[in-house]
Homo-oligomer: A and B are copies of this chain.
Amino acid sequence: MMQQIEKRSHREVPNEEINMKTCPKQYVLAVGDALNAFTGKWKLFIIGALIPGKQRFSELEKNIPKINPRMLSKELRDLEANGIVKRKVNDSLPVSVEYELTPSGYAMRLMFDSMIDWGMQHRAWSMPGKITRQ
């Protein structure tokens, strides 16, 4: 269906040699999948922008402040390769390109809901500020 480039980044959540006592391996893999699917600075915003419906490249550019076209293009290709976004070329004149979430992409909402729950609770509860990374 879609050929995956099998190059593994040393930053990706690794799939091999998982040896945690209590978490079944397949679960860890699935979480890793979910994580790899929307990490990076921009993917979440792209998916969020597409939840209300399909959008064109330039619309996404406008709706996602500070993203540059190189990043938008790259992340869209990435999301497409992973079956989360579908690229549709309308052969009208002039040609227009529309991006849309796949069913799998829309299905992420449930996951986001639980992340929202955790994030809001965590903010209210234990954190005066926001989550950071060093």
Contacts and interface: CB of A to CB of B under 8 A. Distances in A.
Interface string A16-33: 011111110011111111
A133 interface: yes
A99 to B, nearest CB: 14
A72 interface: no
Given A49-B20, A126-B83, A131 B33 contact: yes
Count identical subunits in the complex: 2
Contact of A118 (B23, B34, B51): B34
B66 A34 contact: no
A12 B128 CA distance: 18
B104 A122 contact: yes
A37 interface: yes
B63 A44 contact: no
Given A31-B112, A83-B122, A122-B83, A130 B15 contact: yes
A14 B131 contact: no
A70 interface: no
